[in-house]
Amino acid sequence: MHKHLKPEDHRVVVLGASPKPTRYSFQAVQMLASAGYQVIPVHPKAHRIERIAVVANLRAVRPPVHTLTVYVGEERSRTMIDDILALVPGRVIFNPGSESRELENALSDARIPHERACTLVLLRSRQF
């Protein structure tokens, strides 16, 4: 579903986006935006990352979501499973450290494609 979309038509939610430039999730927001993707960072307290408006939680995101890229650990994502399933993302990317068997099983049951990968590597290698 996502392969044929042009970046400007591809909505990417970054769950666990950080306003700290040293974080991979910050770099993902920056790299996705500069590649032309519609980026929706999710962070409970930040209001902007670079010049991009941040939403406080997944319930504030309006579909469609083509890709949900996860940067929160299993403890945090466990409380968000219902919200993630409600978004019906086209795919979910589990970045290193965000793997969650419980969430992956829920996604499989809902027939939502998911993979363990690094968003930054996928972007750099043009496999996003």
pLDDT of residue 101: 96
Q: Looking at the domain assignment, is residue 1 inside a domain?
A: no
- The sign of the CA dihedral 85, 80, 39, 3 is negative
pTM of the predicted structure, to 2 decimals = 0.95
Whether residue 103 is contained in a domain is answered as: yes
What mean pLDDT do residues 94-114 have?
A: 98
> What pLDDT is attached to residue 1?
47
Structural domain of residue 91, as residue ranges?
7-124
Name the E strands within the chain: 11-15, 38-42, 48-49, 52-53, 67-70, 92-94, 114-116
Pairing between β-strand 11-15 and β-strand 92-94 as defined by DSSP bridges: unpaired
Position 33 in a domain: yes
In a domain, 81, yes or no: yes
Task: Please indicate, yes or no, if residue 97 is contained in any of the structural domains.
Answer: yes
